[in-house]
Structure 1
Amino acid sequence: MPLVRLDISHVRNLSSVRFEPSPQVNLIVGKNGSGKTSVLEAIHLLSFGRSFRSHKHKTYIQHDNEACLIFAQLAQADGRTTRVGLQRQRDGQIDVRIQGQRAQSVIELAERLPVQLINPDAFRLLEGSPSIRRQFIDWGAFHFDHEFISAWRGWQKALKQRNTLLRRGKISASLLSAFDQELIRLGEQVNLSRKAYVEKLTPQFHRVLSLLTDALKVDLHFFQGWDAQKTLSMAVEAGRERDIELGYTHTGPQRADLRVKTATGDALDTLSRGQQKLVVSALKIAQGQLLIDMGRPLVFLVDDLPAELDSQHRQKLCQLLESLNSQIFITSVEPDTTDFTWADSTDVRQFVMQQGELSLLSKGLQES
């Protein structure tokens, strides 16, 4: 559901921002520190309940304020709107509202407002720890398989209980095996959902990457976290003695990874910085395309678009995003770096951000 209206209060230097974005393309230009990225951060908060810039919530709550608030109206297919809101207190409490009613968790926001982020930190998808790539897979599995989140939560709980037991020490393998049935059952469900999702994602990724550049051949390989020739039950049983020695569970879905490779090795080691950004962008767009194919519109947040890409590849990226018929927010420091050729029928709205104030420069259909 695209954003029809967005209200942001006390997020970094945004004291009070209200605007009506285009359902298609929104260009936000402003100097560094003006607050343009904070707009994207607020949208991300409204979807994930967390920032993409910091894990510490106090850093994005405006100084001398006890809470930040983000409110939005989301368009529905039948023409009606859904009201959603999120308030984050300085003490860490979070309040999520949907149609004025308190929601049980942030997950309800994620279902209504799926968001894909492409920014300079997106390189972490390649160079970061496996946990970042697991989050990438799990985001897709969550939207692709409705049973995934309950299995994932149950498996996480079983894993924590097992590790707590292992840390106590002096536990027999036979006693530990009695706690493993639920861990294995739910872990297998998580693994099957992840594997099925990567299988769906891979051909879409290849297609998107070929549209961005015909010079790269990159493959995706899913590592489930243990020997592919063994079941999780076999792997847990074989590693039980070692787990007792280590004091934690060393094999299983918690070690899963998405390995991105070229013909000569890991993409991180063999590709230039610009090529890496194309690969990451292709991963994010392919993931979004799968959701769109399921009839689930989403919002793309593109922060600092010019970084690492030349004008030709920036144009290709924007044309590809435009073809998805999704709502897009793009930020840039310089106006000329967002001077793209959009289709005549595309509703492009240009905004300028100055010292926390957002102003509309132009509205309507973009003329090529």
Structure 2
Amino acid sequence: MPTTPDRSSLWGDQRFLLLASARTISVLGNGFARVALGFAVLALPGATPGRLSLVVACQALPQLVFILAGGVIADRMSRARLMVVADIVGAAAYAGLAGLVLSGHAPLVLMCVLAVVAGTATALFSPAMDGLVPLVVSADRLQQANGLLRVCTNSSLLLGLALSGVAVAWIGAGWALALNAASFIVSAILTARLRAPGRAAKRSSGWDDLREGWREFASRQWLWVVVAQYAFVVAALNANVGVLGPLVAEEHLGGARAWSLIVAAQALGTVAGAGLAARVRVNRPVLVAVLATFPAALPIALLAVSAPVWLIAVAMFCSGIAADVFAVLWSTTIQREVPEKALSRVSSYDWFGSLAFAPLGLLVAGPVADVVGTREALAACAAVIALATCAALLSPQVRRLTATPRHSL
């Protein structure tokens, strides 16, 4: 495994610095795109909320559909090279979207096709990224590296979201999308300089690789139990952030300004949480990670009772801290426990399982709120998170798995 030349700080490792810089710039551009794409679609002639939902869905669905294929490909070739390819594909998709918006002629079908391409690029990128970190830093510094990467990306996303509204107002949504395309190009250039090791040619088929990845995934009870837990947790969180939270804010908390404050508090919490997670040392990382899920239910429960905005914001800040403690401990444990040759495939199963019910959470949140009420639907979401987390704690491996050196090849 590689070692860092500067033992006092990972910032002395040129390859880690390149990786962190590439991710920071790319995520900054994505922060712009999250806001710019919505305003770009709505600014087009004949735009409706339904059209916006269709374009966003076309971007999100491939991330779920192609994530397993992304894991197989990432374990068959250089992960850094695959990330470069994904960045270039993403850049082309967002450049195309920007061109359509700036031209004023953007057929819905073409917008949807480019959104699918952008989502597919993400599906290729994510498993490769998860598998690349152990090839860049030494095993004893994985947790620190994951924490620092999340500090960089969370801070960058927060900055991108904060500046995106200004950028859209000043230069327009089309140029904001073009900035995102440019960020992907810069990320590709930086990632290409990593020179991570390639992969030996495989004679097995992609289906064989997929089945081997499933065996690695299913053989670890702690792994599939927590992924099953997060299938429900992510669905409940999506329902809250995407539908129910804004609804209750509009009905009882004063509207968009209050909701913006609550969401910003959570974003700040993720930055603080990543910094904490880079330093914390625990003997049972999966147990601590699962316990760190409980705070996610608190702000949702407070929204359900229309608590004061400042109290909900404090709870969201704390949940943001806990969320990144989970993320860093979880990523580090997978990287240590799973053989490197199958790491991206196992990561793709993690992504696929965790996101499996995410679209469903968004789909049913509105109708359920209409039938039982927004507050009652929020209370149900908080209960789902708490119950799923309690169920995960029933697993002996979740409670007992201890931190060990990274699995050797």
What is the TM-score when the length of structure 2 is the normalising length? Answer: 0.27
Structure with max Cα Rg: 1
Higher normalized strand content (fraction of residues)? 1
Larger proportion of helix: 2
